Amino acid sequence: MTRPAAATTMLDRRDIHFLRPETTAIQSIRTLIGCRLLPAMIALASVAAAGADAPQRYGQVDEARLRGSAAEPQNWLALGRDRSGAYYSPLADINERNVKRLGFAWDYEFGTYRGQEASPIVVDGVMYTSGTWGYVYALNAATGQPLWKFDPKAHGQAGRYPCCDLLNRGVAVWAGRVYVAAVDGRLFALEAATGAKVWEVDTIVDHSLQYSSTGAPQIAGHAVVIGNGGGDMGVGGVRGYVSAYDLGSGALLWRFFTVPGAPGAPFEHPELELAARTWDPQRNPDYRGGGTVWDGMAYDPELNLLYIGTGNAAPYDSRQRGRTRQDNLFVASIIALNADSGRMAWYYQATPGDEWDYDAVQKFVLAELNIAGKRRKVLMQANKNGFFYVLDRATGKLYSARNFATVTWASRVDVKTGRPVLAPAAEYHNGPVLTYPSVLGAHTWPPMSFSPRTGLVYIPVNEAPNVFVDLAHNGGSVGFLDGFFTINGIIPDRAYDPKSLEPLFGKLPAYESGRRGAPDVHNVLRAWDPVGQKSVWERKTSQGYSVWDGGILSSAGNLVFQGLASGDLCAYTADRGRQLTCVPTGSHLGSAPITYSVDGVQYVAVQAGYGGVAIYAPIPPTTVASKYLNQNRIIAFRLDGGQVPKPPERVEPPVPLPPENPASAQVVHEGERLFTAYCSRCHVFGPSITPDLRRIDPAVRARIKNIVIDGERAPNGMGRFSDVLTESDVNAISAYLLDQAWQLYREENRAAVR
């Protein structure tokens, strides 16, 4: 791919042109109002301006600082604060006695309107974070004033490849540099002081496949490691791997593939010989296996082990991967690699032969626990499949596994063998079944938190079932869904109507079939004892389909913080779960909050923006994103702050009068099938983060072919689809959209039409 050069914008009083004018003004005013300390803030701004010319070392994180992070509680040096990945802070100035005074300090708007899943890093008063496409932002952590912004100039076609939006899950800061992966798979090293590019490398092995990078890089020894996504995409997904690059030069040090290549292909490293024994040697080489490493990684410097989690098998249906169901190593697994060589030390497969999109990429927590009377170094994960795993992080030995959410696909995990015991609800080859948990997972990318003070893990839990449908054999008109292959995962709630879906997907089970628990899907904040493998307390945080609530922060102030789909940042007592306060923001809060202090003032900050897998459905009325515009921003809070400014209210424009539709009913029906298969992953009918194509104006409607076939809007994230759609297909899709536009127009203008 030909890519324009990446660009860094330095920001000071003379150069703030990258921001929208209104954003710049609002940013400054909001900081002053929120803090109610105008003289002090002016003084602080003066100090910052004067210090701009003084020598200062930025982003100086190393192993010694991470090891001694308890001695500098004011900083948040890594995504989970330190090597433990616990999202726990020893700060306690904000505590259970005064957290009700929490209010607005400042916010910083990105000028984008997509999903936000990163947690910032704060080093010596400077905040570093990433946004859509892999943009990087450096801010004054006390005021939110921008220092610099980096634009990776990601290739527009790559906007089509992520399963779940153009998001990014964070940066790594190390030895004066900031590392980030752009959505098109390029890895960058930037100067922490200026944002200037030091080096860039292309991490993608095959750009003809739908690879993307949305995860945060992981520093491991002398290497920076990055994975990728794409295991759900295209006809047969992609082949998962991680790559390790020299921190200084960007040279490739090693690469570890998580699944074997095509049958008969040579093995890139010895571990693949073991993996190949668990795959059908006669499988279709177009099905590339999956096992992508798109999120969770961790590193133990004492053991020099890098821990990676691998994603779902591709395709989902095991019958397309082989003649018999096999384990298909190393999909849905936790793997420990030597950070110097990339050789595997051990692996644990959480979901052998995964058929349910149960990735094992959820963020890990590294801790020490008393197990059977001995202090053990463990790795903990609340897996997407609904089981909480405690493993010895030196050997991979399974100490315990227990379901932390409703699970029906397996009855238990046999600790002796380490394998799940499958239940009847796991089997959808003979017809659709309702299974817990859903494809969203009992827990997915929003980080959990571990408090060494309470000994509890705090998990953002999704209690939701899933209807798994074999599209190829269920009698519906849709046999393929981009992002789902030939298996559809429908999350049934009160709006679920099997009859209306039957023409597309075939006969589906009733809502009550196999359902357990509450009458609606809902989210829970669950405090979990990892030693006793039991729930200590829980609080329902959202009712109804809201995608999910945010990640978790715990602190020495006996507090647990979580942002919600309702737009509230809520604080609970860590020991008993008593709700202390909820601060409304008007923004969807999915990321995990962080906390830090500058000049003795403690802040809590969270990145805001609705998106991610939410692109698959209209914005539900249970979320704040249905009421307010989805302005991406970082919001910082402090004691005695003000009210959080809310974004403008969301107003849907009326559908313009559509032109006449000359297409036949047969063409419209074919357009519906094609739209469902290739377009509905991002474009839904109703309020969304992408355009509702029923409401497009005539000028856009006239250029649908240019947009879909020629990629006219690829720079905006709408890549071309000429590889899977013909001009005739696009005409059919356009006819279907026009039919739907007329239906909506008549509905909105019912009185006038009469």
pLDDT band at 411 (very low <50, low <70, confident <90, very high): very high
CA 182 to chain centre: 14
pLDDT tens column, 425-446: 899 999 999 999 999 999 999 9
Contacts of 696 (CB under 8 A, 6+ apart): 737
d(CA 215, CA 187): 11
The pLDDT assigned to 473 comes to 87
User: Which tokens go with 431?
Assistant: 């017809």
Structural domains in the chain, CATH included, are 665-753 (1.10.760.10)
For residue 24, which phi and psi values (nearest 5 degrees)? -60, -45
First to last CA, the chain: 54
Which of 327-336, 548-557, 691-700 is the least confident region? 691-700
Total count of residues recorded for the chain: 754
- At residue 213, the pLDDT reads 97
What is the C-alpha separation between 179 and 130, in angstroms, rounded? Answer: 10
pLDDT in tens, 293-333: 999 999 999 999 999 999 999 998 899 898 888 999 999 99
**DSSP secondary structure code for residue 656 in this structure:** P
- pLDDT tens profile 195-233: 999 999 999 999 999 999 999 999 999 999 999 999 988
When pLDDT is cut at 50, 70 and 90, the band that residue 519 belongs to is low
Is the CB of residue 53 less than 8 Å from the CB of residue 96?
no
Tens digits of residue pLDDT in 593-630: 999 999 999 999 999 999 988 887 888 888 899 999 99
Given this model, what pLDDT does residue 9 score?
64
Higher pLDDT, 661 or 478: 661
Residues designated catalytic: 357
pLDDT band at 548 (very low <50, low <70, confident <90, very high): confident
Contact 617, 684 (CB under 8 A): yes
Residue 587's pLDDT is: 98
- Which whole number is the average pLDDT over 677-691? 89
Q: What average pLDDT is seen over the chain?
A: 90
Asked whether the predicted pLDDT for residue 25 surpasses 50, the reply is: no
pLDDT digits (tens, 9 = 90+) for 104-155: 999 999 999 999 999 999 999 999 999 999 999 999 999 999 999 999 999 9
For residue 336, pLDDT beyond 90: yes
How far apart are the C-alpha atoms of 165 and 167, rounded to whole Å? Answer: 6
720-743: pLDDT as tens digits: 999 999 999 999 999 999 999 999
255: helix, coil or strand? Answer: strand
Region label for 696, one of left (φ > 0), alpha (ψ between -120 and 50) or beta (otherwise): beta
Least confident of 295-309, 414-428, 472-486: 472-486
Average confidence (pLDDT) over 526-543: 97
Question: What is the pLDDT, as a whole number, of residue 515?
Answer: 64
| Of residues 165, 185, 153, the one with CA closest to residue 114 | 165
145 vs 543, which has greater pLDDT?
145
- Mean pLDDT computed over 639-667: 94
Which of 372-381, 483-492, 615-624 is predicted least confidently?
A: 483-492
Q: Report residue 23's pLDDT band, with 50, 70 and 90 as the boundaries.
A: very low
**For position 2, what pLDDT does the model report?**
39
36 pLDDT more than 60:
no
Please, which residues have CB within 8 angstroms of residue 96's CB and are 6 or more apart in sequence? 557, 558, 559, 573, 580
Tell me how far apart the alpha carbons of residues 728 and 705 are, in angstroms, rounded to a whole number.
10
**602 membership: H or E segment, kind and range:** strand 601-608
pLDDT at 43 exceeding the cut of 50 = no
Tell me the backbone φ, ψ of residue 700, rounded to 5 degrees: -70, -40
For residues 507 and 432, the answer to whether their CB atoms sit within 8 Å is yes
The pLDDT value given to residue 31: 47
Q: How confident is the model at residue 40 (pLDDT cuts 50, 70, 90)?
A: very low
Instruction: Report the pLDDT averaged over residues 439-455.
Output: 97
User: Do 404 and 413 meet the contact criterion of CB atoms below 8 Å apart?
Assistant: no
**SS3 state of residue 35:** helix
Cβ burial, residue 288 (10 Å; 0-12/13-18/19+): buried
Structure confidence at residue 16 as a pLDDT band (50, 70, 90): very low
Range with lowest mean pLDDT among 318-332, 548-562, 586-600, 629-643: 318-332
Q: How big is the chain by its Cα radius of gyration, in Å?
A: 25
Confidence of residue 513 (pLDDT cuts 50, 70, 90): low
Classify residue 672 as left (phi > 0), alpha (psi -120 to 50) or beta.
alpha
Calculate ∠ Cα 651-656-657, nearest 5°: 150
d(CA 192, CA 77): 13
**Is the pLDDT at 45 greater than 70, yes or no?**
no
Instruction: Please tell me the distance from the alpha carbon of residue 241 to that of residue 226, in angstroms, as a whole number.
Output: 9
- The fraction of the chain above a pLDDT of 90, given in percent, is 75
Give SS3 for 43: helix
- Name beta bridge partners: 594: 605
* pLDDT level of residue 478 (50, 70, 90 thresholds): confident
Answer whether residue 591 shows pLDDT above 60. Answer: yes
Output the pLDDT for position 51. Answer: 41
Q: Is the pLDDT of residue 663 over 90?
A: yes
